[in-house]
Amino acid sequence: MAAPVKFGVGQSVLRKEDDALIRGKGRYTDDHVPQAAMHALVLRSPHAHASFTIDVTRARDLPGVGVILTAEDVKDLGGLPCLFNLDDHPFTGPLYPILAKDEVRHVGDAVAFVVAETVDQARDAIEAIEVDWTPLPAVVGLANAVKPGAPRVWPDHPGNVLFDVPIGDKKATDAAFAKAHAVAEVSIVNPRVITNFMETRAAVAEYDAKRDHLTLTIGSQGSHRLREILCQNVLKMPIEKMRVICPDVGGGFGTKLFPYREYALVAVAARKLRKTIKWTADRADHFMGDAQGRDNVTRARMALAEDGKFLAMDVDLMGDMGAYLSTFGPYIPHGGAGMLPGLYDIQVFHCRVRTIFTNTVPVDAYRGAGRPEAAYVVERLVDAAARKLDMTPDAIRRKNFIAPKSMPYTTATGKVYDSGDFTAHMKRAMEVAAWKDFPGRARAAKKQGLVRGIGMSTYVEVCGTMGEETAHVALDPNGDITVLIGTQSSGQGHKTAYAQLVSEQFGVAPERVHVFQGDTDMIATGLGTGGSASIPSGGVSVERATHTLGVNLREIAAEALETSAGDLEISEGVIRVAGTDRTISFADLAKRPGVDPSKLKASATFSSADGTFPNGTHVAEVEIDPATGIIRIVNYVIVDDFGVTLNPLLLAGQVHGGAMQGIGQALMEQAVYDPKDGQLVTGTFMDYALPRAADGPSFVFETHNVPCTTNPLGVKGAGEAGAIGSCPAIVNAIIEGLWREYKIDHIDMPATPERVWIAIREHQRRHSL
């Protein structure tokens, strides 16, 4: 076996990005302040549902005001598109207007866009706009929205239903349940969450009147997709008339992948005023204007044989869409349903999927995009099945896992798992967590008046299905390497990861590899970043383009060194005749007279049709104080199968971050709307809780990799995995403790101290009667 390359695949190379960031030299969209830029603000609805008239006459006359846009001013624009539909049950969604006309449908709905010389002047103009509101009946919450007689969000969608479709075989499922020895059932809520990335969204539009050309600077998850949607669907302008630049991005998590109203509005204002327009969201804009996540209500049942074998799974899933359809909104519950069988050999499956409108902010992909929701359902259900049959959580999983010898395995929903050893990573996680010694720790905690709980989740997700990604790799005149690629980092460390793939073949240090993303003028195509696809797809493209460039360079060097290309090896940016000291540097190759410039660069494109399937086991151990309901995570173990580890340091960071987001959702995060008037109750950090460092454990993380057979690098993707396995592990641990002590078998996320305390008190009240 060849020795590992110093900066290559598998090495814990420090992040190239961090030096600039920790020195305050990062450049985010809000740092881009062109001279004489005007500033914009959005007037948003204070009502969840209302008709309105608007008068901006007085506001337009205020000092410094450049333009105020209302629906009338943007009536020729297209709406924000939904890019998902069903082939077998096509649906028609309502218009998602750039500015609401006559009627608003959620708190935060945009009704006017004000541009002024300063932010303060824009704010004065916002306050001077006269709006006459007439509140209308509103509905929030899935259970309320589907009640007979509930207010309709859209008149042409009876029952507030967008679509109601089946997945799987209902007849076979019903037959399996009829023969079942026992049935386990859960009814659970996956609460709505608000992303709250560190950097709020921002956009700067610069207009070149001579060329009739727009340059948009936007912190996003993909410049090319934004340009295509804005030009083709919304602004209806030639795509070559717009350049989109994405600088540093302070977190995305799916939410920055989508086009938003403000991006079109800064473009319209810039063309109208022939000036540069800048808009930066404040935290309130984020809470009321950015797509939110999760928000499912699910009832799931498992048909069980006497020995614990799963016979069939039946699910009824409702997903909240909010008031409008965001870019991929309807796909999230429908696509997520395809992962509901999890890691288990479930031959018979049925799921009813309903997508529902409510008078709330639209819902779309949030880290994991339907896969965390699916994992939460099946893992809660599997634990319920274990309790039903008096089996241990590991025993029932071991009984039903898909065996390695069954790979490739086609699930009942059509997913094809290529590889994995699920029992092995579960066993290892239990060993590291000292699972067998838990009863002793539980007894010790009980002596202190505390309740210990231990739980697990074994998850699978699908990655790398964004489509084709192209990488361009070139030799620079100084012997360095430049990589151009259309993925977009928002904190993951792409510049480091791609540099390692180049170093694996060329042996150059990471600082000699220059990675560029996020500029549609520099990079011809790109799908952006989402679905943990950057390494499974973009990484393969970089690896292949680098290989092709290496072949070219050997050919050039063979001529220079008067030898055969097969006798040459590349290391540390030098090409050497094997076994000799005869060499030529990359820099000398680049400057060699007569070299065909096309030989100094290479491109490659890769797309994964079937995706990849990372999987793993999370084990959480919690300590509950019955007197207060406070939960403390005392141990947390993760053993993942990511196929191949590109950089252990980056990988651990991704897993830790995802797990912390899951901890936040499991224990404290929830977007709450008032059921009476649709107000967003949790509209600030005073009311919306985020996890802090003290809320997280010291994670123990290992890999038990089985290389992916459908990906040329063997990788499976890792960006979202931590957020997928964490929620069910934590809640299963909480319920394990509550069940053992109080026979409480259900609690919904977030498991706040109040909810836990109430559940315990209600148990004590019932048993004291």
For residue 2, name the pLDDT band (cuts at 50, 70, 90). Answer: low
Average pLDDT on 347-372 reads: 97
Contact, 586 vs 435, CB < 8 A?
Answer: no
Contact, 49 vs 104, CB < 8 A?
Answer: yes
Question: Element (H or E) spanning 687, and its range?
Answer: none
pLDDT score, position 3: 64
> In whole angstroms, how far apart are CA 147 and each of 160, 289, 330?
9, 27, 21
Q: Which residues 6+ apart lie within 8 Å of 362 measured at CB?
A: 96, 106, 291, 292, 321, 322, 323, 324, 325, 326, 329
| Residue with more model confidence, 751 or 533 | 751
Measured torsion, CA atoms of residues 578, 584, 590, 594, in degrees rounded to the nearest 10: -90
pTM value?
Answer: 0.96
Contact, 735 vs 476, CB < 8 A?
Answer: no
Residue with tokens 């996680």: 429
Strand, helix or coil for residue 59: helix
Contact, 247 vs 217, CB < 8 A?
Answer: yes
- Is 90 exceeded by the pLDDT of residue 516? yes
Average pLDDT on 274-297 reads: 98
Length of the chain: 769
In one-letter notation, the amino acid at residue 344 is Y
Measured torsion, CA atoms of residues 526, 529, 530, 532, in degrees rounded to the nearest 10: 110
Average pLDDT, the chain: 96
Average pLDDT on 573-587 reads: 93
pLDDT in tens, 184-215: 999 999 999 999 999 999 999 999 999 999 99
Contact, 405 vs 314, CB < 8 A?
Answer: no
Average pLDDT on 259-276 reads: 98
| Residue with more model confidence, 52 or 527 | 52
Question: Element (H or E) spanning 216, and its range?
Answer: strand 213-218
pLDDT score, position 312: 98
Instruction: Detail the DSSP E strand segments found in 45-171.
Output: 50-55, 65-69, 103-104, 110-116, 130-135, 161-168
Measured torsion, CA atoms of residues 352, 355, 356, 360, in degrees rounded to the nearest 10: 140
Q: Which two tokens stand for residue 408?
A: 């490739």
pLDDT score, position 610: 81
Range name among 130-144, 285-299, 605-619 with the lowest pLDDT average: 605-619
Nearest partner of 55 among 122, 151, 153, 133, judged by Cα = 133
Average pLDDT on 34-49 reads: 96
**Percentage, residues of the chain above pLDDT 70:** 99
For residue 764, name the pLDDT band (cuts at 50, 70, 90). Answer: confident
- Is 90 exceeded by the pLDDT of residue 531? no
pLDDT score, position 1: 47
Q: Which two tokens stand for residue 490?
A: 């928002």
Beta-bridge partner residues of 458: 617
Average pLDDT on 434-442 reads: 98
| Three-state DSSP string of 604-663 | EEECCCCCECCEEEEEEEEEECCCCCCEEEEEEEEEEECCCCCCHHHHHHHHHHHHHHHH
Instruction: Detail the DSSP E strand segments found in 642-731.
Output: 700-703
Q: Which two tokens stand for residue 734?
A: 């909480």
For residue 222, name the pLDDT band (cuts at 50, 70, 90). Answer: very high
> In whole angstroms, how far apart are CA 35 and each of 117, 219, 243?
11, 20, 19
| Three-state DSSP string of 524-568 | CCCCCCCCCCHHHHHHHHHHHHHHHHHHHHHHHHHHHHCCCHHHE
> In whole angstroms, how far apart are CA 23 and each of 18, 26, 33, 251, 410?
8, 8, 20, 18, 49
For residue 322, name the pLDDT band (cuts at 50, 70, 90). Answer: very high
